[in-house]
A and B are shown apart, each in its own frame.
Chain A
Amino acid sequence: MRRILTVLFLLLVTVSAFAAPPRKKTEVCPGVSKVEIDSLLTYMRGHFGVPVYWVHEGEDRRLYTVYEGEKEPFMEEAFRQLRENGYRISQYKDLYIVLYGRTLVTSLPVGFFENRQETAAAEATSDIFGENELQATFANKIYEIGERGARTSGKASVRGYVRDAATGEPLAGISVYDDRGTAYAQTDASGFYKISLPVGDNTLCYDGWSMEEGRYMLKVWDDGNFDVQMKERVLTLTGAVVTAESMARHRNSKMGIESVRISAIKNVPAVFGEADVLKVLLTLPGVKSVGEVSNGFNVRGGSSDQNLILFNNGTIYNPSHMFGLMSVFNPDVVSDIELYKSSIPVEYGGRISSVLEVRSREGNGKKISGSLGVGLLTSRLHLEGPIGSENTTFIIGARTTYSDWMLRLRPNDLIEGIVPPDIQYTDGSASFHDLNVGLTHKFGRNHSLHAYGYISRDKFGFSNDTSYRYDNLNLSVKWRSNFEGGRSMVIAAGYDRYGYRVDDTFNAAAAYTYRTQISQPFAKVTIKSPLSESHTLTYGGSGVLYQLQPGARHPLGEESIVEDRSLALERGLEAAAYLSDEWKITRKFSVDAGLRYVLYGSLGDKSFYHAPEVRLSAKMSFTPRFSWKAGFNTMHQYIHKISNSINISPTDTWKLADGRLAPQDGWQAATGLYLTAGKNPIDFSVEVYYKRVNNFVDYLPGARLAMNENLADELVPTECRAYGVEWMMRRTLGKLNGWISYTWSRSMQREMGNRGKMDINRGEWYSTSYDKPHELKAVLNYKITHRYSFSANVDYSTGRPVTLPIGTYEYAGGTRLVYSDRNAYRIPDYFRLDLAMVVEPGHNLRQKAHLSFTMGVYNVTGRHNAYSVYYDINSRGVIKGHMMSVFAYPIPYINLNLDF
C-alpha cells in the first residue's frame, strides 16, 4: 500500500508539474458560460473542491458550455463534454485525472511491482506525453491487437518499431519477449521487431541497453502492429551497460556478439577524455591490441587487418586518427557498435576474424538539437533534427583538432636516446578533421531511405620537406522495407575510398609524391523472411569491386629525376550469395545454419577462387536463465594488409589475392555456457574457442613493400592458430554495474613455405605479436546520485611478445645485434587503472541547454607500461636496453559537453 501511495504521489507531482497553467483566469460566470478546459477544470477544483488534475491536448482552444448548478450534474456534464472531445477521465478514490486520448488505469495488475522499481510508474506517467496516439506509451493499458474477435485460437504475429521516446531514434538490439518465456524477438537496425504470440492475453516485455524496461498488456486477436517508445533508464548509470543483455544472450543462438551503445562508450575513461568507440572494444573479453597507441585491434588471436570494420555498411580501412590516439568514429553521431567475434552472420564476409559494425544515429525527429564538445585534443559540433516533417531527419557531425601543440610542447630531453639528435621536430605537425552526414526519410510506416557520408583527412609531418596525408571517404545509401508477413528487406549500396599520400622534397633530385589508394563500390541485398513459427530465413547477395592502386610515384619539382610511374591497378570482384535458416527445433533447442558461397576473381590475371563458407550455431536452453551454445564458422579473405609494422600504421598498403598470392582462409569453432543468476541479475558466461587461419602473410627481411609489382615475392605465407577461454561476469542493473572478464588465450603463427633454415624460427610455431595469454579487464560504474557517477577501468595483461637481441657482433663499421627467435620474449606485463567522474546535466527539462562534463585520470597509478622495448648501442659502445612508455604518467582530463 505504501508503495502504491508513493507511486500515486509521484504520479500526481509529475502530472501537476507538467500541467499547463490555465489560459484564462476568468471565473465561470453565473448562468451559462463558454470556457476553455483550463478554466473549466480550475473552476471545478476551486468551486467544488474536487481534486482534479489534467493535461489538455496541445492547442486545445475548444470551448465548453457549462451551466451553474450542483456539483454532481455539473461534473457529469463537464466530463461528458470532455469525453466527446477526446479526453478520458480516470478516477482513483476521489481523485480525477483528465487526459487526452488515454485511460489511466488506476488499479495495477497483480504482481506489477515484483519486477519493477518504484520509479517505473513515474516513468510511465511521463510516457503519457508521447504524442502519437498509435504508439504504446502507457504500460498499464490493455492494448488490443487486430480486429476484436477475429480469431479465437492459434498464433498471431505482432510487429512494430521500438524508438527512443526522447529523440524518435530507432533502437536496435532491444529484446522483445513475452513474460511466459515462450516468444522472443530482437529489434533490428531500424528498431523493427516481429514476434509471434498466441491469440489472447499476453504481456510483452521490452528490454535492452540502458532503456527503461517496458511491459505491455496485449489482447491479441490477429496480426497487427504495436510500436513502442522507450525512455532511458534514470536511476542506473546511463553509461557502460553492455548488451546483447541477459535475455538476448539466452535467446539468440549466435554467440560471441558484443554490443555497446554510445552512452556506454562516452563513460568509459579514455586518454585525454576523448570518447572512443574502438577503445571501448578493448575493454571486452577477446579483444586485444598491441599497445596503447593503436587503433588496430585483434579479435581472438586474429590480426588487425582481419577485422571487417563497417560504418553504415561502408568499409573503413584505416580506423585511426593521429597515429591511433583516436578512432575515426565521431561519438556524437554513433548510435551503437556491434562486434561479431565468433558467430558471424551469413550476410557478412570478406574478413577472417571478426565484423565490427558501427551504426550512426538517425537525426532527432522532433526538434533541432545538437551538441558542442571541447576536449584536450579536439572540438566537436553536431546538429540534428527534422527537415520539414518528422519523416525526414538529418544528423551532421564534425570534428577538428588543434593538436599541433603536442608536438611543439614536447621537451627534447624526454626522447633523448631514441631519436637521433640531428632530427628537427620544430616543424612537426599533426592534425585531422572529419565530417559525418546522415539523412533519413521514412516513406510511411514500412519503408525508409537512409543516406550516409563520411569524409576525413589526417595530415602529419615532422619536417618542412615531408608531409603525409591520408583520407577516408565513405558514401552509402540504404533502403529498407518491411512487408506483410514480417518479411523485411535491406538494400545497401555505396562507395568507399581510402588513400595515403606522402610528399617528400628532402633531396631535390629525388623529390617525389607517392600515393596508394583503395576504392570499392559495393552493393548488398538482404531479405529476412519468416517462413513459419520455427523457421526464419535470411538470404541475399552482395558484391564488392576492389580497385587498388598499389603505388604511384610522381616527380615533384623541376629538378626531380624521379620516374613518373604507377603500378598497374589491381581489381578484384568478390561476389557472394547466402542463405541461412534460424530453426527453432523445440522451445529449448534451436539452430542457426547458414551457407555463404563466395566467388572471387582477380580481374588482372584472371584467376578465380570460389568457396562455400559455413556459418553454424546452436543453442540449448536448459532453463530460461541457463543455456549452452556452440558455433562453427569458415571464412575467406581476399585482401591482405601489407605492413611490416605490428600496428595499423598510416603507411600500410593493401594487396589483393591473385594467382600468385592465395587468399586467406580460416575457421573457428566455439562453445559457451551462459547463466543469469540472482534477483538483481548477474550474467556469467564462459566461452571456449579454437581457430585456424592459412595464408596469412609475413615478410622477408628487408622486403621492398612500396612500388613493387612483384610484391608476392617478398611475402611469406604463414598459418595461424589461436585458442582461448573467456570468462565474464556482468551486471547491467543497479547502482553498481559493469563487468569483469578474464581471458586465457594463445595466438601462434608458423611459416607455411619451405625456405629451410631461413624459415622464421626454423618453421616452428611462434607467438604472434598480440599473443597475451592472461588478460583481466574490469569496467565498473557506481552511481552516487542521479547526477554523479563514478567509473573505474582496470586492464591487466601479459606483456606482448617481442624479439630481443641476445648477442652482438661488430659488422660494417658498427655494433650489430643478434636477435632471438621471433617473438621469443615478452615485454613487462601491462597494468592500468583509470578513474572517471561523470556529471550529468540537471534534470530540469525546461532548461534550454545541458552542460555535462567528465573528468578523470588515465593511468592513475602512473605505471610505466612498456609499449616497446629495444636495445641500442651508445657512443661509448655500450649496449643498453630501453623501454618506451607512451603514457607513463597519470593523465588528468576534463571534457565539457553542451547539449542543446
Chain B
Amino acid sequence: MKPKQIILSLLAASLTVFGCVYDYEPELPDIQDSFLVVEGDIFAGMQSVFRIGRSMNIGQESNGDYYTTSIGTRWMESSLWDVYVEAEDGTIYPSWYVIPGNILNPPVVPRPGDSLDRVLTEMALDSYSRAIDTRDLNPDVRCRLRIEYYTYEWADWEVLADWEVLKRDTLRYASEWLEVQRTSHLDSVTTMIDEDLKTMHFNINTSGESSSRYYRWFARESWEYTAQLYAQYYYNPSTNEVLAYQDGENTYYCWNTGTQGSIMTASSEGLAEDRLSQYELYGLDNTSQKIAYLYCVDMIQESLSADAWRYWKAMKSNTTDVGGLFSPQPSECYGNIFSLDDETEIVLGYVNASTVSICRRFVSGDGFYRKTPVTDISSIPMPVDWRRYYYGFDYRPYVPTDRGDDTSDPFIYYEWMPRRCVDCQMRGGNKNKPSYWPNDHK
C-alpha cells in the first residue's frame, strides 16, 4: 500500500474548507509507567546492534541519571546491561560494546571481505549500544535474544542515614524463539527525480525468493558536503599566524552519517512473483544537505515474520495515520520481548531475525541540489592586531585580498569570513571520511 493511500483519512479531513487543526494539550496524570525499550534486530550474516532504554513520559523532565531528552528514550549506558543471542542448539553469541576510544571485550576481528559489515557496525555503535557478532548465526536454527539489565535496589532510607546502594539486581528478559527469516536479494537501489525536480525518490528492486513476503529496510546514510566557500588558509592561534593549507587539507569537505527515520516496510503479498520493482522507500528534498555533493546509502534488507509485519504495520499506522476522519484507533505495540521475572511487565520493541541483503548506492547531487545562495556574508580585511580578537568572534581567514596599498603587514592581505561560511564542520559533519568513499577529497 502506498503512502498516499495510508493517509486517505487525513485527506478526507481536508475535504472541507471549514476544518481546522488547533493545538491541544490534554491533562494527563503525572504518574505513568515507564517501559523498557529494546531496539535492534538479529541479522544473520552480519553484526547485530542493540540498545536498551526506558520510555519517557510526556512532559517528563530529565532527571540526570541517564542520558535524557525531554522526549524519546532514556538510553542506558551499555555497561549497565548485557545482551546475547541464544540459539536453540545452545550456541551463545555474546555482545561487545564500546566506550569512546576503547573497544572492549570481545573485539570483533574484521575478516577479509566483510569490511562493509564492519563499517556499518562502527557507524551505529555508540556508548549506549552493544553489538553481537552474528555473522556465523545458523539461519536453520531458531534463536532468541536474551537481555540482562542491572538495577540497583535502594535501602530503606529511614533506616540508613543516606541514599545508598544496597545490592545489584539483575532483571532478565528474553524474546520469543524466532525463526530466522531468509530474505530475497536486494538487486539495486535506483533513484527517480520527480517532475517538479523537488524530490529525489529512492526505489528498490529485489529478486529471488524470501521465506516470507514481508520486508523491512534500513537506510544507513553517509554523505559528503562542502562549506560554502573554500578557504585556502587557516589561522594558528598559538602562534597568531595565518598559514596556507598543505597536502589538500581543508575545512571545505565534510562527511556526515545518519539513518532514515521513517519505517520502511513493504510486502510482495498479492503479487504474482515475490519481486518488488521500483518500490519507493523514501525521498530526499533538493535542499537537503545529504544530497549536496555526494550521497551514499547502504540499504539493508531483511525479511519479517508475519507477526513482525503486523507489529511494524501497527507502528507505522500509529505514526503516520493519526487524527483523520477514518483513522484507525492507535493500537498497542507491545512486541515480542518478555520479562522472565514478571509476566505482566510490558516491554517495548520487537526483535526480528533474518538474513540480510545489502546494497550500496552513491548518488551525486549535481544538477539536483539547490544550493542556498551565499548571502549576507561580508568579508573583513583584517588588521594584524585584530586577528586574535576576530578569531574569538568565530571569523576565519578566507582568501588574500587585492589591497595592494598597505604592504607593511603581509597578513593584511587575507580576508576573514564568518566561520560558518568556510568551515563545513559548523554544519553538523566532521572530517572523518569513510574508508569506502570513492573520491580523494581530504
Please give the residue numbers on chain A whose beta carbons come within 8 Å of chain B beta carbons, in ascending order. 291, 293-294, 322-325, 406-407, 409-411, 414-420, 422-423, 425, 428, 430, 462-463, 465-466, 502, 504, 506-510, 512, 553, 555, 561-565, 644-647, 649-651, 699-704, 707, 756-758, 760, 769, 803-819, 822-823, 825, 864, 866-873, 877-889, 891
Contacts and interface: CB of A to CB of B under 8 A. Distances in A.
Contacts of A704: 310, 313
Given A647-B326, A808-B58, A813 B261 contact: yes
A889 B13 CA distance: 15
A813 B18 contact: no
Interface residues of B, number: 92
A881 B323 CA distance: 10
A809 B58 contact: no
Contacts of A564: 272
A869 B331 contact: no
A877 B58 contact: no
Given A324-B325, A647-B325, A419 B7 contact: yes
A813 B259 contact: yes
A410 B324 CA distance: 16
A534 to B, nearest CB: 52
Nearest to B306: A704
Contact of B310 (A419, A462, A651, A700): A700
Interface in B13-43: 13-26, 28, 32-35, 37, 39
Contact of A809 (B9, B35, B319): B35
A509 B4 CA distance: 17
Contacts of B271: 509-510, 561-563
A53 to B, nearest CB: 57
A812 B334 CA distance: 14
A822 B333 CA distance: 12
A323 B315 CA distance: 26
A414 B19 contact: yes
Given A410-B17, A510-B276, 8 more contacts: A510-B271, A700-B310, A804-B26, A805-B58, A809-B56, A811-B39, A864-B20, A881-B25
Contacts of B57: 806-807
Contact of A463 (B4, B276, B277, B328): B4
B270 A323 contact: no
B331 A510 contact: no
B384 interface: no
Contacts of B58: 805-808, 871, 879
A811 B335 CA distance: 12
Contact of A883 (B12, B23, B32): B23
Interface stretch (B289-297, B343-351, B396-404, B416-424): B343-351
B72 interface: yes
Contacts of B273: 561
B22 A885 contact: yes
Given A553-B270, A885-B20, A293 B11 contact: no
A775 to B, nearest CB: 21
Interface stretch (B142-150, B164-172, B177-185, B278-286): B278-286
Nearest to A644: B328
Interface in B107-140: none
Contact of B72 (A565, A810, A882): A810
B311 A702 contact: yes
Interface in B51-100: 53-58, 60, 69-73, 75
B28 A804 contact: yes
Contacts of A414: 14, 17, 19-21
Contacts of A294: 325
A644 B8 CA distance: 13
A293 B73 contact: no
A702 B326 contact: no
B11 A423 contact: yes
Closest 10 CB pairs between A and B?
A702-B314, A870-B323, A701-B331, A702-B310, A509-B277, A883-B24, A702-B313, A644-B328, A701-B314, A810-B72
Given A507-B279, A561-B277, A757-B346, A812 B39 contact: yes
B151 interface: no
A814 B2 contact: no
21 contacts: A323-B12, A410-B15, A508-B278, A509-B277, A561-B272, A563-B271, A702-B315, A704-B313, A805-B330, A807-B35, A807-B55, A815-B71, A815-B72, A816-B315, A816-B319, A817-B319, A867-B325, A871-B58, A878-B70, A879-B58, A885-B21
Contact of B7 (A420, A562, A649, A825): A420
A646 B329 contact: yes
B288 interface: no
B24 A882 contact: yes
B332 A819 contact: yes
A407 B15 CA distance: 5
A701 B53 contact: no
A701 B333 contact: yes
Nearest to B313: A702
Contacts of A756: 343
Nearest to B38: A811
Given A649-B326, A879-B58, A702 B309 contact: yes
B329 A807 contact: no
B190 interface: no
The secondary-structure label for the interface of chain B is loop
B16 A882 contact: no
A807 B56 contact: yes
B11 A507 contact: no
Given A806-B57, A809-B53, A881-B26, A871 B2 contact: no
Given A425-B11, A463-B4, A504-B2, A866 B35 contact: no
A871 B71 CA distance: 13
A561 B270 CA distance: 9
B275 A561 contact: yes
Nearest to B338: A757
B72 A877 contact: yes
A857 B308 CA distance: 50
Interface string B255-280: 00001111100000111110111111
B327 interface: yes
Contacts of A699: 331
A816 B18 contact: no
Contact of A873 (B8, B55, B71): B71
A868 B327 contact: yes
B10 interface: yes
Contacts of B5: 466, 502, 504, 506
Contacts of A812: 39, 261, 263, 315
Contact of B312 (A645, A702, A867): A702
B24 A869 contact: yes
Contacts of A409: 17
B270 A869 contact: no
Contacts of B188: none
B262 A814 contact: yes
Contact of B26 (A700, A817, A825, A878): A825
Contact of A814 (B263, B278, B330): B263
B33 to A, nearest CB: 8
B9, B273, B313 — most chain A CB neighbours (10 Å): B9
B379 interface: no
B359 interface: no
Given A702-B312, A757-B343, A757-B346, A814 B21 contact: no
A869 B25 CA distance: 9
B318 interface: yes
B232 interface: no
Nearest to B315: A816
A555, A816, A864 — most chain B CB neighbours (10 Å): A816
Contacts of A884: 13, 19-21, 323-324
B21 A417 contact: yes
B23 A880 contact: yes
B323 A868 contact: yes
B330 A811 contact: no
B317 interface: yes
A710 to B, nearest CB: 10
Given A414-B17, A886-B13, A872 B322 contact: yes
